[in-house]
Chains A and B, each alone.
Chain A
Amino acid sequence: MSERMDEHVSRWIAAYCDGELSGAKLRQVKAHLAGCPACRREVEDLRALSAMLHASPAHQPRTRADRFAAQVALRLPPAGSLADANRPPRRSFWRLAWQSVPLVLIVSWAFIQAVVLVTTPALVAFTSSPSAQAVLAELTRLAPAALSALMPGVPFMGELLPGSALAGWVLPLSEIVLLNLFFTVATAIMFAAWLAIWWIDRREESWEAF
């Protein structure tokens, strides 16, 4: 978005002084500076700061360039070890696993969403019909006993949630929605955590690469 002529161009002044502006933006800043004493002062201050920084002279090396190069050459490792050092590092299994975390999260989240999307309308249609209600009521009566016989010791949903709408035969819709919400939030948190670790890791890598 371009500034109006009567607005200051403070955010572009450093780029202007550094010779980084061109085209329309450069013309705009120049035109503004021509009529704005405050922004001209900013430019002068930046140039004065730059001049002051150069008041600290550069270090004058005590050795000649060719002697310096010879000293470096003496310290260079042999070519054989250079080949090893320059070989790209092999990606370990754990590194690959770590890098695939976001993909796994996204795929599993998409899978759950697809399952919910497909099954929820069918579930609603099924449970809303009177005949299905009768079948469900009968199954609800029989199922806990049958399942308890098959899997003794495992609590059935009807026992855990005796007041739920489908009395334990299938999860109630509200629970599906809640579980889906919980899974989505958990996935988002895990993804954000991975992203934060990746970002910190990347920053450290970028500074410590050499």
Chain B
Amino acid sequence: MNGTPVEHTDQELASAALRGDRRAFGELVVRYRDGVVNVVYRMCGDGNLAEEAAQEAFIRAWTHLASYKPQYAFRGWIYRIAINAALDALRSGPRTVAIDDLPLESDSEPPEERVVRKERADWVRQAVMALPPASRAVLVLREYEGLSYNEIAAALSIPIGTVMSRLNYARQQLRKALAPVAQAGQPVRAGQSSEQSGGKSFYAPLHNL
């Protein structure tokens, strides 16, 4: 017998938690803390609200564990709760001034670049926040959490066609909102394709950097 700890599945932990096992639930909290905090943050755009609302999401998950269906991914289920907790926090909580939302990744980064980077991040965050909650939720789950269309459909209880249309709408709105950032030549790259196709692209200035 080796000393390797047994890795329980989400379903096993959820089942144990449903029987009142707080340690099992604690393991789920540790497992999904980052994801839930990030979903809440992307939905409410406020770092100070995010952790409080994330805790609220886990408490709701604990009290509604019976509604979790083990045939679906726990991740999608908890993210849906997180989205609702974020929207509730937005409705009820006072907005705080998040001075230090942006982590300082490098002390060696020149202050000017840091300011530009923060401005760009704020612009993106505001554009995301301007989306209707239903479209924002789909965009956050796809772009930031990497859920597949199927997983998003299951998490939000909507058809895949609705996932695609909401995602399409969100991206169209973002393209409009972020056009000035893109055309100002901010140092953002697609990263994958630098192919110049000859025509005028929405993000053409980016390709020329």
B148's nearest neighbour on chain A, judged by CB, is: A20
Query: Which of A72-80, A92-100, A170-178 contacts the other chain?
Result: A72-80
Interface size class of B (residues with CB under 8 A): 35 or more
CB-defined contacts of A25 to chain B, threshold 8 Å: none
Alpha-carbon gap, A62 to B54, bound state (A)? 13
Decide if the interface of chain A is mainly helix, strand, loop or mixed: helix
Pick the residue among A38, A49, A60, A207 that contacts B175 (CB under 8 A). Answer: A49
Are A14 and B63 interface neighbours, CB within 8 A? Answer: no
CB-defined contacts of A18 to chain B, threshold 8 Å: 142, 148-149, 167
CB-defined contacts of A49 to chain B, threshold 8 Å: 171, 174-175, 178, 203
Q: Which residue, A85, A88, A210, has most C-beta atoms of chain B within 10 A? A: A210
CB-defined contacts of B65 to chain A, threshold 8 Å: 82, 86
B121 on the interface (CB 8 Å rule)? yes
Q: Which residue, A15, A65, A68, A72, has most C-beta atoms of chain B within 10 A? A: A72
Q: Which of A46-73 contact B (CB under 8 A)?
A: 46-63, 65-66, 68-73
Are B29 and A53 interface neighbours, CB within 8 A? Answer: no
Q: Which of B48-83 contact A (CB under 8 A)?
A: 50-51, 54-55, 57-67, 80-81
User: Could you tell me the distance in whole angstroms from the C-beta of A122 to the nearest C-beta in chain B?
Assistant: 48
Interface size class of A (residues with CB under 8 A): 35 or more
User: Could you tell me the distance in whole angstroms from the C-beta of B20 to the nearest C-beta in chain A?
Assistant: 4
B178's nearest neighbour on chain A, judged by CB, is: A52
* A66-B197 contact given A49-B171, A57-B103, A208-B84, CB 8 Å threshold: no
B193's nearest neighbour on chain A, judged by CB, is: A44
Are A209 and B67 interface neighbours, CB within 8 A? Answer: yes
Are B84 and A210 interface neighbours, CB within 8 A? Answer: yes
Alpha-carbon gap, A63 to B52, bound state (A)? 11
Q: Which B residues form the contact surface with A (CB < 8 A)? A: 18, 20, 22, 25-26, 29-30, 33-34, 37-38, 41, 47, 50-51, 54-55, 57-67, 80-81, 84-85, 87, 101-103, 105, 117, 120-122, 124-125, 128, 142-144, 148-149, 156-158, 164, 167-168, 171, 174-175, 178, 181-182, 186, 188-193, 195, 197-199, 201-203, 206-207
